Copies of this chain bind each other. A is one copy, B any other.
Amino acid sequence: MKSQTLSRRNLLIASGGIAVTSLATPSFAVEPSIDPLGKDLIFRTADPRNGEPKLSKLVQSWLTPTKHFYVRSHAPNPQINVDKFVLTVEGKVRTPLALTMDQLKQLPRHNLTATLTCAGNRRSEFNTEGKVGGVQWAAGPIGNAKWSGFALSDVLRKAEVLEEARHVWFEGLDQIQRSNAVIPFGGSIPIEKAMVNETIPGAVLADQMNGQQLTPDHGYPLRTIVPGYIGARSVKWLGKIVVSDKPSPNHYLATAYKLVKKTDPIDWTESGPIYRYPINGAIATPEAGVTVPAGRLDISGYVLPTGLMNSRAHRIEISTDNGVTWVAAKVTDGNSDFCWQLWKARVKVTSRTTSLLMRASDNTGGFMPQRVAWNAKGYLQNSWYRLPIRVS
């Protein structure tokens, strides 16, 4: 009556079986040796621009240099004349606004360091169970940067939000071709998040990244930064804010970025928008597939705790024997709200080691599960990270 030997696919389906999702190595749609915009990224698609850094480069520093910061776009970068740029604020407000950059710059400046992560980070790992749509990301669409700009709550207070306000919509100035329509990238956040005004505001309208003016790839001249939420809520090339009694009807809030098994109307409707990110992490060095000698091996990686204030990694663990025993990794960098933490570990590998496993939990109850349910769009892949290696 013992379970029979499981096929690879059945093992994936069987609950609790050791996850066999290998680090997928998707074929790169485009990998230009020199990006015309100077980014040092692996481009998964060139048009629109979607690129992620090599993991070994990603963890060289706690702050991610802009050239190594992933780029996620749905259309070509819009050409914006900053002298004519106006941010409009409308909807459920007493005083609709049209703010130039100069007017925005009269607001108090807020600096914050926050990690952005694509909801599709590690998406390609889902393909071992069933094909998922979207950009075939490995574990690189994540980065930690210094942002500087203006608190959304300050702008909303200026506009005098009405009692019935429940959600704040963001609309980009990009133009995305979808079927026969052209739409901006958009999304919304709950009004409670928008009005958070602690050390770190609930959302910042940023004009600077890492001490420089935003680059076109990252939303010049103005973008939203929503710490703790998936990257999709941090709308780039921000042109319009709408205060509403309901969530944004924009495709990227109302339909996309949900956990669904199928992309039927009923599946989309049954599923709510993703806001917060769950804890996630990856092994960044050594490289996947590398051959190393038996014995001690130094490894490193990142972990991003759940998108909540005060969330920090509680336990980061590595296994070299497929999950039978675990060794603790040590945080080397990062003790800041809404930011990732870098870690190192020294493990022992033997001729029987075929991969390294990594898992983590945080102090808010978040954890990387052994396996996550497959979803059609490949979001929130945060199961134990597996890095295949060879030991000589």
Interface of A is mostly: loop
Q: Once the chains are docked, how many angstroms separate the CA of A369 from the CA of B19?
A: 12
- How many Å from the CB of A360 to the closest CB on chain B? 7
A271 to chain B: closest residue by CB: B272
Interchain CB contact under 8 A, B192 and A15? no
Asked if B266 contacts A346 (CB within 8 A), the reply is no
**A370-B16 contact given A325-B2, A364-B261, A365-B261, CB 8 Å threshold:** yes
Does A368 reach chain B (CB closer than 8 Å)? yes
A3 touches B271 (CB 8 A): no
Q: Are B369 and A13 in contact (CB under 8 A)?
A: no
B384 and A373 within 8 A (CB): no
Instruction: Tally chain A residues at the interface, Cβ within 8 Å.
Output: 54
Q: Which residues of B contact A265 (CB under 8 A)?
A: 190, 192
341-389 of chain A: CB within 8 A of chain B: 345-347, 359-361, 364-371, 373-374, 384
Q: Quick check: A369 and B367 within 8 Å, CB to CB? A: no
A41 to chain B, nearest CB (A): 30
Q: In this assembly, does A323 line the interface, its C-beta being within 8 Å of a C-beta of chain B? A: yes
Q: Tell me whether A361 and B261 are in contact (CB under 8 A).
A: no
Contact partners of A14 in chain B: CB under 8 A: 315, 317, 361, 367
Inter-subunit contact B266/A13 (CB<8 Å):
no
Can you list, as one digit per residue, whether each of A128-147 has a CB less than 8 Å from chain B (1) or not (0)? 01100000000000000000
Scoring A residues 51 to 68 as 1 if CB is less than 8 Å from chain B, else 0, what string do you get?
000000000000000000
A82 within 8 A of B: no
Chain B nearest CB, measured from A304 CB (Å): 14
A203 to chain B minimum Cβ distance, whole angstroms, is: 12
Please name the residue on chain B nearest to A306 by beta carbon.
Answer: B261
Note all chain B residues with C-beta closer than 8 A to A345.
1
Contact partners of A8 in chain B: CB under 8 A:
none
- CB of A327 closer than 8 Å to a CB of B: yes
Whether the pair A16, B359 counts as a contact (CB closer than 8 A) is yes
Asked if B373 contacts A366 (CB within 8 A), the reply is: yes
CB A70 to nearest CB in B, in angstroms, measures 24
Does A163 touch B at the CB level, under 8 Å? Answer: no
Nearest 4 CB-CB pairings of A with B: A272-B272, A15-B367, A190-B269, A192-B266
A-B contact pairs, 7 of them (CB 8 A): A1-B327, A1-B328, A2-B326, A3-B326, A190-B265, A193-B269, A261-B308
